[in-house]
Structure 1
Amino acid sequence: MEKKTARLTLLIDPHKKRAFEQLCAAQDLTPSQVVRQMIRDYLRDHGVAYETGPDQATREAPGRE
């Protein structure tokens, strides 16, 4: 896990939140773990390279993978 963290706040339908929390619990994961993995996957899928230091995000040139 990253050494420094930042808070991400979002609004979600209460029913989806409850279902998400229940699914995470059934998989023995925290909602934060799942969201962090989704963000890593999203960045990777869109060619965004990053380091865990502040202000380190960069976008890969198209076609470089």
Structure 2
Amino acid sequence: MAVKPARLTLLIDADKKKAFEALCASQDITASQVVRQLIREYLARHGVTPTYTSNRADASNAPAG
């Protein structure tokens, strides 16, 4: 079952955003892909495993979250 994505909004200096997006584009990768990878690496480095919850009405078998 697919996990529904959630939005993460953050503020960043405009010049850093522009440089980041340009670097991502030069590597043929989206800024979102890079941020998702950074989050995965950060979680792994700190030994955190994400738990996934279901949006279905019958979520009795889903892990607690």
TM tier, smaller? 0.7 to 0.9
Matched residue count = 56
Which residue is equivalent to 1:48? 48
- How far does residue 6 in structure 1 lie from its aligned partner after superposition? 0.2
Greater strand proportion = 1
Q: Segments of 4+ in structure 1 off by > 4 A?
A: 55-58
TM value normalised by structure 1? 0.75
Q: SS at the partner of 2:53?
A: coil
Measured after TM superposition, the shift of residue 57 of structure 1 is 8.7
Whether the 8 Å CA contact 1:48–1:57 is kept in 2: the answer is no
Query: Equivalent pairs: percent with the same residue?
Result: 61
What is the RMSD of the two structures over their aligned residues, measured on CA atoms? 2.3
Q: How far 1:4 moved relative to its partner?
A: 1.5
Asked if residue 16 in structure 1 is aligned to residue 35 in structure 2, the reply is: no
